[in-house]
Amino acid sequence: MKTDCEESGAGRNITARLRSIVDGEIHKYIELLTQSILRKHLTDKKSMQGSWS
């Protein structure tokens, strides 16, 4: 059963805005995680190259 707010346009707008915020935060988190993984990969690769010298 839906509440009055959920059935109103205001409820839909709030829900859409929350989805937008959450999607944005997830996107930022994925970008930071990807950068961190790439940075670690490059660091590991450089240290491996140094060990072969």
Model-level pTM?
0.59
Q: How confident is the model at residue 4 (pLDDT cuts 50, 70, 90)?
A: low
Convert the pLDDT of each residue in 14-43 to its tens digit: 999 999 999 999 999 999 999 999 999 888
Q: How confident is the model at residue 48 (pLDDT cuts 50, 70, 90)?
A: confident
Domains in the chain: boundaries:
4-52
Q: What is the SS3 string spanning the chain?
A: CCCHHHHCHHHHHHHHHHHHHHHHHHHHHHHHHHHHHHHHHHHHHHHHHHHHC
